Structure 1
């Protein structure tokens, strides 16, 4: 039997490699739009192919993980990731057609989803119940670190060696991750007969969690998507009009850095103090910070904060308050995320259907994450501030629903006992 630490390290590397590839492609999408001269419809398909494949792949991959060996499924999806990046290298030429890229993007979406499901399921199974959120928080921190490094490295790698250099690095990360999973992880011996999703569909605890998560997806998608839009669009459109990409990038990175640094710590605390309490507090804090975002210009003016900064030049007095708000959004999400994931892992691990439990978690998020951008676009035509007000309202509605359902089904003490 392999040392548990080595097994966790192999899974952390998997989270890092998968997250690095996802963010790198996201960063390079504008290059592909220019390469193919893509129309608005085709640009939409670039994203739809990814998210559509993610949705379609969730149920069969989770089913395969619970019915078979999650380790082998994870090796398979990492292999599919390698194939997708080799495919991206092949279609990154003017001779290729945009539909070639769309197909490979779909393969990437399925592989990223499978990697996320299986790695989290295995982390959940390997973790002792009283350390589960801590280990999940560490795994998420590796993924967030990949997001930060990937967004910074993608442009530099592309300028140095073009698309080939980017995909060579991605393959060089994924192959050791595959080898680590194959050689360091013990065979997964948990099996479940029948359809694991059917057994979890009416699980009372999962229904309690999804009553929160379905609404919270709207909050996070609206706020996370519109913070950079708010920073970058012109004042005539209700934004701050920052033309320096570095300024917008710093604001975005702040959320990832605080989330990455806090998750192992908040996960460990939630293991001790009650995970449902951290879901409630984290969701509520996210709503409170989202409410403040539209007032960052007023805060900057009231505090007489500087409007000019080294390197990026003239911005506005709102820059530092907006930076602080996005950093606090990362802290708020770090309070919620490992605790929420651990609760889903708890339910799935009890009967061997942990991959399906995470699959349900993924599927519940989808409707809100798809509908929220359209809602945000409609709200932006009225006043961009309303995007954040509605996002905050969705967060508050989610936590209050969660508290009500939890108290009704399990009593008022359940908030600290789960």
Structure 2
């Protein structure tokens, strides 16, 4: 194993550590709500409801992420990316070490805010370094492998967190996360040399007007709504009572299968699709993956009809009775992961290409992160309103439409500048 491979593997391990900590907290969030029992409180004469406090369990994390993107991306371009990455992991180690000690909603929200800063810094810097270290012709391949490591962590974390909590409680789980992050930090310190690139000024201002990044942004802004709505509502559709438009699958393991199917196929796919997009054209993979994601999303509410047509089973071992639509739903969720695996490494490589060539790869990924925020915040609000006021199916129709219109706008802009060669230009 040569020196360059060790550098990439240390970054892949960092992606695994980041993903494992993130998904473990998501999985244990309902448990923390039950343990902390948040209740309404009054501050300066203003009553804050329990619902708002519970919302802050997630929003505190998201707000910290949003606030951290620009300064961390700027620091990564202006100084040593490895130092910023190691610093982010150290913040993460502190945050995860604090979670077993939290005894109130305020302390939990504060720890989540620290986690948000750590996840943002680790994600931005690890991807920036992967993109910077990789040669142009292998960039999407290496990014795909880095993403696969993160998805592997998501699968392991989501399947093991609840089981480990039932056996050992909070503390051992977070000690495992801390240990993995310490190992990742040590690997970076040993195998990854200091980053000597230094970008003066404020690269965000130049990159924000870059034609290729603006074109990618036109797609990504819409796609964020699609993925956030669809990915969040597939398990809700599986587990919600039939009267509310869902399938009424009661076994938690069965519902988790819909999430795991998407993550597993995405993980496996990115081990190969990044390399393919390096060879056949990244814009083609973004258009195909994004457009097909929308098509498959629209098919999700037709799971009962698909199940009836193919004679899907109505009972499974260890799970019991299930809706005839459940197996088709798991298969569709797996297909969502496959088509998204075409898009993701190609999209990231395009941002890395521009950031590397224009000076400011961390800022390029920072822009990529920022344009995702409106969809990630507003998407669930739109989906919740649609579910209650219109129908469960409408969530997937609207979510799918966002992906399709985003892909078509992306193609139209490309065609305007590159004509018939639009999908092979980049």
Using the size of structure 1 for normalisation, the TM-score is: 0.98
Question: How far apart, CA to CA, are the structure 1 residues paired with 2:418 and 2:372?
Answer: 24
2:73: which partner in 1? 62
The CA deviation at 1:36 is 1.2
SS of the equivalent of 1:116 reads: helix
Q: How far does the alpha carbon of each residue in 1:351-410 deviate from its partner, in whole angstroms, 9 at most, with x for none?
A: 330000000000000001111111101110111100000011101100010011111123
1:105: which partner in 2? 112
SS of the equivalent of 2:35 reads: helix
**Pairing 1:290-309 to 2, within 5 Å after superposition:** 290-309=297-316
- Alignment counterpart, residue 97 of structure 2, candidates 72, 75, 86: 86
Asked whether 1:361 is paired with 2:368, we answer yes
Question: How far apart, CA to CA, are the structure 2 residues paired with 1:295 and 1:239?
Answer: 12
Q: How far does the alpha carbon of each residue in 1:110-146 deviate from its partner, in whole angstroms, 9 at most, with x for none?
A: 1001000000000000101000000000000000000
SS of the equivalent of 1:413 reads: helix
Q: How far does the alpha carbon of each residue in 1:37-94 deviate from its partner, in whole angstroms, 9 at most, with x for none?
A: 1222111000000000000000000000000000000000000000001111221xxx
Q: How far does the alpha carbon of each residue in 1:334-354 deviate from its partner, in whole angstroms, 9 at most, with x for none?
A: 000000000000000113300
Question: How far apart, CA to CA, are the structure 1 residues paired with 2:216 and 2:311?
Answer: 43
- Alignment counterpart, residue 403 of structure 2, candidates 395, 403, 418: 395
- Alignment counterpart, residue 60 of structure 2, candidates 49, 56, 59: 49
Q: How far does the alpha carbon of each residue in 1:262-285 deviate from its partner, in whole angstroms, 9 at most, with x for none?
A: 102111000000000000000111
Question: How far apart, CA to CA, are the structure 2 residues paired with 1:287 and 1:151?
Answer: 26
Q: How far does the alpha carbon of each residue in 1:233-283 deviate from its partner, in whole angstroms, 9 at most, with x for none?
A: 001000000011111011110000000001021110000000000000001
The CA deviation at 1:303 is 2.1
2:47: which partner in 1? none
2:278: which partner in 1? 271
Question: How far apart, CA to CA, are the structure 1 residues paired with 2:104 and 2:334?
Answer: 40
- Alignment counterpart, residue 382 of structure 2, candidates 347, 372, 375: 375
Q: How far does the alpha carbon of each residue in 1:306-353 deviate from its partner, in whole angstroms, 9 at most, with x for none?
A: 101111100111111101100000001000000000000000011330
CA RMSD of the aligned region, Å? 0.9
Question: How far apart, CA to CA, are the structure 2 residues paired with 1:383 and 1:395?
Answer: 19
1:410: which partner in 2? 418
Question: How far apart, CA to CA, are the structure 2 residues paired with 1:200 and 1:18?
Answer: 27
Question: How far apart, CA to CA, are the structure 1 residues paired with 2:311 and 2:355?
Answer: 52
Task: Note if contact 1:242-1:248 (Cα within 8 Å) is conserved in structure 2.
Answer: yes
Using the size of structure 2 for normalisation, the TM-score is: 0.96
Structure 1 stretch 157-166 or stretch 204-213: which is displaced more? 157-166
Task: Note if contact 1:406-1:412 (Cα within 8 Å) is conserved in structure 2.
Answer: no
Question: How far apart, CA to CA, are the structure 2 residues paired with 1:369 and 1:98?
Answer: 23
Structure 1 residues not aligned, in runs of 5+: none
2:267: which partner in 1? 260
Task: Note if contact 1:23-1:151 (Cα within 8 Å) is conserved in structure 2.
Answer: yes
Task: Note if contact 1:212-1:401 (Cα within 8 Å) is conserved in structure 2.
Answer: yes
Task: Note if contact 2:418-2:425 (Cα within 8 Å) is conserved in structure 1.
Answer: no
2:194: which partner in 1? 187
Structure 2 residues not aligned, in runs of 5+: 39-49
Q: Which runs of 4+ in 1 moved over 4 A?
A: none
Asked whether 1:116 is paired with 2:127, we answer no
How many residue pairs get aligned? The number is 413
Asked whether 1:337 is paired with 2:358, we answer no
